[in-house]
Amino acid sequence: ITPASMTIVFLSITIGTIMTMSSSNWLMAWIGLELNMLAILPIISKPKTTRASEATTKYFLTQAIASAMMLLSSTINVWQTGNWSILELKNKFSTTIMALSLMMKMGAAPIHFWLPEVLQGTTLQTALLITTWQKIAPITLMYMISNNIQPTILVSAGILSMIIGGLGGINQTQLRKMMAYSSINNLGWTITIMAFSPNMALMNIFTYIIMITPIFLMMTNMSTKTLQNLSTTWTTSMTMTLSIALLMLSTSGLPPFTGFMPKMLILNELISQKLTTLATLAI
């Protein structure tokens, strides 16, 4: 791929996300997401391997299904209300379908199966792009319709994402798959609190993006792809290995680190909403 075509691809990804975030119309938001999805496909398939081709196909199919669901939801809503506005999503069926399509785009449970496989089949830089930038647009849309989504749906998906993210990462030796399950787990926290405090959900996801970016950049710098690689890097770069270890502890939400702050605030909000059982489950 030439530098000029890569520039066009990255520009399209950026424009697609910005278009979705700034639109008040479902059709424009959908076009932004489509542009974003089509632009990242050449990046995923850049390594000329069968794994990369497989990852590209899986990513394309899941995102295309999610886009179709999104279009179906907004069309049904237009039939009911006669309005394309994002904030006017009043129909319960439409809202449920839209929430599921956005969860599918983000890679939240129970529609998370594509995320670990796609990350494993691509490079660390592309994995960073998928786990950070690609989540911004769907989360913005979910933030905008959060008042209309039934809390039960968000809380159920959130708790399921936390459980699957936590358990799925235990049995992994591949770092990219571990980061995928870490992303699913964090999305669980974000989606759960989205039902009660959308601003806190945004703070949580952006804190996570700030923490996960240096982890991926350091892993790229050291060419570490498995836990075995990571266990031997301390001989060549002790500072970087220590930094990755501390950042991983931070993303898991251990008390003295930055990652603990949004989780503590989320638990506090859940308890103040008389959802103590839910807070206990989250812990």
Per-residue model confidence as pLDDT tens digits over 36-50: 999 999 999 999 899
**pLDDT over threshold 70, residue 61:** yes
Distance of CA 283 to the CA centre of its chain: 20
- The CA-based diameter of the chain, rounded to the nearest angstrom, is 64
Closest CA relative to residue 121, chosen from 173, 177, 52, 56: 52
For 230, what's the count of Cα atoms within 13 Å in the CB-facing half-sphere? 20
Least confident interval from 66-70, 144-148, 221-225: 221-225
Query: Residue 281's pLDDT is what?
Result: 66
Percent above pLDDT 70 for the chain: 98
DSSP letters, 110-158, are: TS-THHHHHHHTS-HHHHHHHHTHHHHHHHHHHHHHTTTS-HHHHHHHH
**pLDDT over threshold 90, residue 18:** yes
Residue 234 — pLDDT band, cuts 50, 70, 90?
Answer: confident
pLDDT in tens, 49-58: 999 999 999 9
Q: What's phi and psi for 85, nearest 5 deg?
A: -65, 140
Closest CA relative to residue 243, chosen from 224, 262, 266: 224
Report the mean per-residue pLDDT for the chain: 92
Q: What is the mean pLDDT of residues 116-135?
A: 95
Residue 109 — pLDDT band, cuts 50, 70, 90?
Answer: confident
Burial 47-63 (b: 16+ CB within 10 A, else e): eeeeebebbbebbbebb
Residue 280 is which amino acid? Answer: T
